[in-house]
């Protein structure tokens, strides 16, 4: 009984320690097709996606303090981190595994061709996934080439 009482909150929260898929809430414009394609990419890579379509999608960016220069068309929130733009699922999974200190979130500014949700034929532009700290400073977390 005691062990169950300790494990129950973790099970209800969908803890990845028990093999459950991480849940990401994606706030997006209701008219954006690339946002839906990014959600499909996340689902295909093991995420449970809660989709929120709204015309007030800037509100979540303000609440999570996403710096203006890295803002994109959609914002995900997973395990307290924000995920701005077309960040690949494997990089989000790396973030959740490493949990680097003083990290507010990840971002892919703009809409690079070939990033998840922005596929166009065989073209894949190079881009960087940025790590944003709690003061809004950015560093390259992973270079996508």
32-52 pLDDT per residue, tens = 899 999 999 999 999 999 999
Contact 29, 35 (CB under 8 A): yes
Average pLDDT over residues 6-26: 60
Q: Is the pLDDT of residue 20 over 90?
A: no
Q: Is the pLDDT of residue 10 over 60?
A: no
Side by side, which strands form the sheet with 105-108? 48-53, 23-28, 74-78, 81-85, 105-108, 127-132, 138-144
pLDDT score, position 14? 42
Q: For the whole model, what pTM was predicted? A: 0.86
Mean pLDDT of the chain: 89
Q: Which of 143, 134, 51 is nearest to 88 (CA)?
A: 143
Q: Which of 132, 128, 131, 133 is nearest to 144 (CA)?
A: 128
The better pLDDT of the pair 10, 96 is held by 96
Backbone angles phi, psi at 46, to 5 degrees: 90, 5
């Amino acid at each position: 009984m005691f062990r169950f009482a300790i494990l129950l909150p973790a099970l209800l929260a969908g803890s990845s320690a028990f093999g459950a898929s991480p849940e990401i809430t994606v706030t997006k414009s209701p008219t954006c097709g690339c946002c839906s394609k990014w959600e499909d990419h996340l689902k295909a890579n093991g995420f449970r996606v809660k989709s929120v379509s709204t015309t007030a999608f800037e509100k979540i960016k303000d609440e999570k303090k996403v710096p203006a220069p890295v803002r994109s068309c959609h914002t995900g929130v997973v395990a307290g981190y924000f995920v701005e733009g077309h960040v690949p699922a494997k990089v989000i999974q790396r973030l959740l595994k490493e949990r680097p200190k003083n990290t507010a979130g990840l971002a892919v500014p703009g809409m690079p061709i070939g990033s998840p949700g922005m596929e166009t034929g065989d073209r894949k532009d190079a881009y960087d996934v940025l790590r944003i700290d709690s003061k809004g400073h950015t560093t390259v977390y992973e270079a996508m080439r």
